[in-house]
Amino acid sequence: MKDNKDKKMKKVLLGLGLAAVLGASVANARGIDLFVSDIEYYWNAKSKACTKSDFGAKKLIMKDFQDGLLIINKQYKNDAGVWTWLEGEDKDGSFSIDVFNTYGECKAYEKAIIQQQEITDWNYFKNLKAPANLK
């Protein structure tokens, strides 16, 4: 009985894995792709702040994306910039990374998603520059 359940579970997991890969392929086929310029900033969940991406972080994210270890769940574009929601899985389980092409877009994410406040003035975020200590 347990063997049948294990076989069914493996089929389900294989199907989910395949669906994720196909979903990423479909997303990329629709013109959703990841570029180094999309990874200027990321949301640091530990410090709860927008963080400037260094070369090593960009390189690692791009490598994992190209190797299929990260997939694009969603990508949002607005006046402030581009927010890309990446998902992956490692030995510790599933995780997500939110990356942004501008500081303003990262701060808009903080206000709308983290603080759950409505954004009424996108121009504020469109023109927002990072503090000198983040550059």
Q: Do 22 and 68 lie in a common domain?
A: no
Quote the pLDDT of residue 22: 38
Q: Do 106 and 95 lie in a common domain?
A: yes
d(CA 5, CA 31): 39
Q: Do 37 and 85 lie in a common domain?
A: yes
Q: pTM, whole model, 2 decimals?
A: 0.73
Are 66 and 129 contacting, i.e. CB atoms less than 8 angstroms apart? Answer: no
Task: Report DSSP letters for 47-69, one per residue.
Answer: TTEEEEPPHHHHHHHHHHHHTTS
d(CA 2, CA 121): 57
Residue 127 belongs to domain spanning: 33-134
Q: Which parts of the chain have pLDDT scores under 70? A: 1-31, 135
Quote the pLDDT of residue 31: 62
Quote the pLDDT of residue 12: 37
Quote the pLDDT of residue 6: 47
